Amino acid sequence: MHFRKVGAPFLLAVVLAAASAAPAIAAATVNVTLRDKGGTMDMSKSMGMGMGMHGDMKKAMMFVDADKKKVPAGTVTFRVKNASKETIHEMLIAPARDEKTVLPFVAGENRVDEEASGHLGEVSELDPGKSGALTLDLKPGVYVLFCNIPGHYMAGMWTTIKVE
């Protein structure tokens, strides 16, 4: 076998070609579960639990659970499942200054003002047991995931994730 000596420019070209052929970093996936305590829920006992409102979250009747609290910046897919047996839920995502931000709320409609919140997208109105997905390109920051069916957000149906 015959080997020939190669220079640094050739080796650099080989390394760059190999790097460009490498697969791209996989997009992050966050599995989100929308759930509630089920049955007849006395929502009056769990009001005032919106983000940053200092409600007693132990009394929450509804929940948004995310399997990751931190994800890398870039493409993020949210796989959302409504685990409720009886109630329609949805998931919206909006940027927040921090985990204590109070979202703009329309009291007369008992829901977050979606436009004023700067929401980025949603998986809307999932029937019980149904699933959906949403893919977004997210920059570093804090984001809130919440259900905006009237009364649900104030019943504790929100969580935050951090994008780094």
50-91: per-residue pLDDT in tens? 666 666 777 788 999 999 999 999 999 999 999 999 999 999
> What pTM was computed for the model?
0.79
Q: How many residues does the chain have?
A: 164
Q: What is the pLDDT of residue 8?
A: 54
Nearest to 137 by CA among 20, 23, 28: 28
User: What dihedral angle (degrees, nearest 10) is formed by the CA atoms of 85, 53, 163, 92?
Assistant: 40
Q: Is the four-CA dihedral 126, 160, 98, 59 of positive or negative sign?
A: positive
SS3 label, residue 44: helix
Q: Domains plus CATH for the chain? A: 25-163 (2.60.40.420)
Token duo for residue 51: 């983000």
Nearest to 50 by CA among 89, 88, 106: 106
Token duo for residue 106: 């329309």
